[in-house]
């Protein structure tokens, strides 16, 4: 873990460390803690590194790099006597039985005539030295990062890295060789949940992304905006979230795959238009990265408090689909699926993430994405791309009644036809109606989409762990990694457990889901909110009630340790 004052490059440093570990052949999972301000607060970035696949953080800190005293004070409770603490003894002293490595950050920076932010590069060098790693990968990253700024800048940065490395090596001459290059290095990528959504959206041929910045969703906007020249996507930072979703709906009406991204508060502003998408049967993908509410809440922390709001968003009755991935891999898969489902069923599809999944990085095999791309097929459902013009321009039956609930669809500009997408209830050609029969026909038609979806595309939760377990966790979304780690630790304690992980949150197949829950099994609901919202949804949708709950709502993610502390053994 590295910590320091906000505004001094802690975040970038953390990502670089994660990438170096991955290049050396390791798997990583990381998490960042930061306050909702730009300068002056405390930032902490922790990277969990292992030689096997990981999806969780660990309780002990093996290396703590303190760029200020606060880092030590805040995190020393997670240190043990094997932990290495890198700090600057000219700056502050620390007490306790740890492997202390003092690196003169300030002096190095002053001697080499650098800016305060260069401390990070020194720290990266020092960290690698304490872990017994070579410095080569760091020097390579510096070359790549600063190549555009010229050789002089590259060399200066290399000097800082080398000075940190040498200084730490001198102070800590025989480190445990924890981070030596592995013999086989499988190519991997290091992605956050937000980046995984962005990449998934591009793969799925999303052509318009519209958003208004809101933590923790904003990096989707900035990543997609940065890619525009390459990806040819149009990215609009609109004046407010209402404009955001209506821009996307206009583009969707005109035929392009469109998406929006926000957090709970921004989504609250969009909700009237979710209903518009419902009645006009327009595909749109809505990405929500949850943070603790209500209102402005705790902007840079994590929670799963918007599940019921999301599921029930929009006035009136209309179908929508809600997915919630548990890892970056699932984020890519479900993003691809979300765009297909939006087109196939002509409705809003919501991807529910949270700060923990959205902003934490995970390494994943490059092959995973290559395979996903190779196998991903764009399915635009009943979009009619060519239609023979009739003699005279005529109205198109855009909302024609259909057995599966889905009508054929054309896009504006097809010669010889026209129709309207009407926010009022309408007849089959889109004209407004207040009559009894057409109203009932359209309500029923829209509702049948859910039935078709449940038959063809709904997926039951995945089961992890012991198939004969009598203690079974039930959860959804980003809690997956922590629960799987808790299962591992509980097995070591002699308790075999199972785990149902839901990603296809809404709608649910009542009978099939109900069938998964057996008598005489102890089910434990795990959620990152205070109401047990998924439990309420499960009860309402299937009649299954889970009485035992492990809930966390302090803004911090569910962790294996939290589960172990709170489970009744």
Partner 1 sequence: MTNINDFSGYNPTWCPGCGDWGIGLSIKQAFVQLGYDPSSVAVVFGIGCSGNMNDFINAYAMHSLHGRALPNAIGIKLANHNLPVVAIVGDGDCYGEGGNHLLHACRGNHDITVIVHDNSVYGLTTGQVAPTAAKGFKSKSTPSGIIEVPINPMALALINGATFVAQSFAGDMATMVSLIKAGIAHKGFSLINILQPCVTFNKINTFQYYLQRVYKLPQDYKKDDLKEALGKSLEVGQEKFPLGVLYQVERPSFTDQIDQLKDQTLVSRERFADFQNLYQDFI
Rule CB under 8 A: which of 410-429 touch partner 1? 411-424
25 part of the interface to partner 1, by CB under 8 A: no
Q: How far is the CB of 243 from partner 1 (least distance, A)?
A: 4
Binding piece for partner 1, criterion CB under 8 A, among 17-25, 213-221, 347-355, 488-496: 17-25
* Residues in 347-366 that interact with partner 1 by CB under 8 A: 366
Q: β-strands 522-527, 471-476: how paired?
A: parallel
Q: How far is the CB of 212 from partner 1 (least distance, A)?
A: 11
What residues contact residue 282 under an 8 Å CB cut-off, 6+ apart? 249, 252, 253, 276, 346, 421
Of 210 and 497, nearer to partner 1 (C-beta) is 210
Q: β-strands 208-211, 63-66: how paired?
A: unpaired
Q: In 3-state terms, what secondary structure has residue 284?
A: strand
> Which residue from 251, 271, 342, 350 is in contact with partner 1, where contact means CB under 8 A?
251
User: How far apart, in whole angstroms, are the C-alpha atoms of residue 451 and residue 507?
Assistant: 9
Cβ contact 130:175 at 8 Å: yes
Q: How far is the CB of 207 from partner 1 (least distance, A)?
A: 5
CA end-to-end distance (rounded Å), the chain: 31
* Tokens 């799963």 -> residue: 304
Of 383 and 495, nearer to partner 1 (C-beta) is 383
Q: How far is the CB of 199 from partner 1 (least distance, A)?
A: 6
Angle, CA of 337, 527 and 264, to the nearest 5° = 60
Q: How far is the CB of 441 from partner 1 (least distance, A)?
A: 18
Of 367 and 547, nearer to partner 1 (C-beta) is 367
Q: How far is the CB of 569 from partner 1 (least distance, A)?
A: 40
Of 98 and 419, nearer to partner 1 (C-beta) is 419
* Residues in 30-89 that interact with partner 1 by CB under 8 A: none
Pattern 371-410, partner 1, x by CB under 8 A: --x----x--------------x-x---------------
Cβ contact 552:558 at 8 Å: yes
199 part of the interface to partner 1, by CB under 8 A: yes
> Which residue from 247, 346, 475, 487 is in contact with partner 1, where contact means CB under 8 A?
247
Of 399 and 502, nearer to partner 1 (C-beta) is 399
* Residues in 461-520 that interact with partner 1 by CB under 8 A: none
Nearest Cα neighbor of 135 from 120, 124, 149, 146 is: 124
Of 421 and 525, nearer to partner 1 (C-beta) is 421
Task: Provide the Cα torsion 262, 563, 461, 344; round to 10°.
Answer: 0
Q: β-strands 258-262, 208-211: how paired?
A: parallel
> Which residue from 9, 10, 21, 23 is in contact with partner 1, where contact means CB under 8 A?
23
Cβ contact 287:260 at 8 Å: yes
Of 276 and 537, nearer to partner 1 (C-beta) is 276
Q: How far is the CB of 556 from partner 1 (least distance, A)?
A: 26
* DSSP tag of 520: T
* Residues in 207-246 that interact with partner 1 by CB under 8 A: 207-208, 210, 223, 227-234, 236, 238-240, 242-244, 246
Question: Strands of 284-290's sheet, edge to edge?
Answer: 234-237, 208-211, 258-262, 284-290, 348-354, 321-323, 504-506
* Helices within 466-544 (DSSP H only): 480-492, 510-516, 533-542
* Residues in 103-142 that interact with partner 1 by CB under 8 A: none
Q: How far is the CB of 144 from partner 1 (least distance, A)?
A: 9
Nearest Cα neighbor of 209 from 228, 182, 181 is: 228
Q: In 3-state terms, what secondary structure has residue 57?
A: coil
Binding piece for partner 1, criterion CB under 8 A, among 70-78, 148-156, 182-190, 510-518: 182-190
User: How far apart, in whole angstroms, are the C-alpha atoms of residue 484 and residue 499?
Assistant: 8
User: How far apart, in whole angstroms, are the C-alpha atoms of residue 163 and residue 156?
Assistant: 11
Of 161 and 208, nearer to partner 1 (C-beta) is 208
Pattern 260-299, partner 1, x by CB under 8 A: ------------xx--x---x-------------------
Quick one: angle between helices 218-231 and 193-203, nearest 10?
40
Q: How far is the CB of 403 from partner 1 (least distance, A)?
A: 27
Q: How far is the CB of 364 from partner 1 (least distance, A)?
A: 9
User: How far apart, in whole angstroms, are the C-alpha atoms of residue 202 and residue 230?
Assistant: 11
148 part of the interface to partner 1, by CB under 8 A: no
* Tokens 């924890």 -> residue: 178
């Amino acid at each position: 873990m590295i910590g320091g004052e906000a505004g001094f490059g802690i975040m970038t440093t953390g990502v670089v460390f994660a990438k170096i570990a991955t290049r050396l052949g390791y798997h990583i999972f990381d998490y960042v803690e930061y306050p909702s301000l730009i300068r002056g607060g405390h930032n902490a970035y922790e990277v969990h590194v292992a030689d096997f696949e990981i999806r969780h953080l660990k309780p002990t800190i093996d290396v703590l790099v303190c760029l200020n005293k606060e880092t030590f004070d805040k995190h020393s409770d997670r240190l043990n006597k094997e932990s290495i603490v890198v700090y600057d003894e000219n700056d502050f002293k620390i007490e306790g039985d740890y492997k202390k490595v003092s690196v003169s950050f300030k002096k190095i920076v002053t001697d080499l005539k650098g800016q305060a932010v260069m401390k990070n590069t020194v720290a990266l060098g020092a960290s690698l030295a304490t872990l017994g790693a070579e410095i080569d990968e760091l020097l390579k990253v510096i070359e790549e990062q600063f190549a555009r700024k010229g050789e002089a800048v590259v060399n200066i940065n290399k000097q800082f890295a080398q000075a940190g490395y040498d200084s730490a090596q001198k102070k800590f001459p025989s480190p445990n060789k924890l981070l030596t290059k592995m013999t086989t290095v499988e190519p991997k990528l290091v992605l956050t949940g937000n980046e995984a959504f962005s990449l998934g959206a591009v793969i799925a041929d999303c052509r318009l992304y519209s958003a208004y910045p809101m933590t923790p969703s904003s990096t989707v906007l900035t990543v997609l905006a940065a890619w525009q020249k390459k990806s040819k996507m149009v990215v609009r930072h609109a004046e407010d979230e209402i404009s955001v979703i209506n821009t996307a709906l206009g583009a969707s009406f005109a035929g392009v795959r469109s998406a929006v991204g926000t957090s709970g508060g921004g989504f609250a502003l969009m909700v009237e238009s979710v209903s518009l998408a419902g009645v006009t049967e327009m595909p749109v993908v809505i990405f929500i990265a949850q943070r603790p509410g209500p209102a402005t809440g705790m902007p840079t922390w994590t929670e799963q408090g918007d599940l019921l709001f999301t599921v029930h968003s929009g006035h009136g009755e209309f179908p929508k689909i809600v997915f919630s991935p548990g890892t970056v891999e699932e984020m890519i898969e479900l993003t691809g699926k979300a765009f297909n489902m939006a087109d196939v069923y002509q409705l809003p599809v919501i991807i529910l993430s949270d700060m923990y999944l959205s902003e934490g990085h995970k390494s994943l095999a490059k092959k995973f994405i290559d395979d996903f791309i190779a196998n991903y097929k764009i399915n635009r459902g009943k979009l009619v791309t060519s239609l023979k013009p009739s003699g005279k321009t005529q109205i198109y039956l855009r909302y024609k009644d259909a057995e599966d609930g889905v009508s054929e669809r054309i896009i504006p500009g097809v010669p010889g036809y026209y129709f309207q997408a009407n926010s009022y209830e309408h007849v089959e050609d889109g004209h407004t109606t207040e009559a009894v029969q057409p109203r009932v026909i359209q309500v029923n038609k829209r509702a049948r989409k859910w039935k078709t979806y449940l038959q063809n595309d709904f997926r039951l939760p995945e089961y992890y762990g012991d198939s004969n377990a009598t203690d079974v966790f039930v959860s959804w979304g980003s809690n997956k990694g922590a629960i799987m780690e808790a299962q591992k630790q509980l097995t070591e304690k002699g308790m075999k457990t199972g785990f149902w992980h839901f990603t296809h949150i809404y709608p649910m197949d009542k009978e099939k889901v109900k069938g998964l829950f057996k008598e005489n099994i102890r089910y434990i609901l795990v959620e990152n909110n205070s109401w047990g919202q998924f439990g309420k949804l499960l009860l309402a949708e299937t009649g299954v009630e889970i009485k035992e709950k492990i809930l966390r709502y302090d803004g911090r993610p569910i962790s294996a340790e939290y589960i172990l502390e709170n489970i009744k053994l």
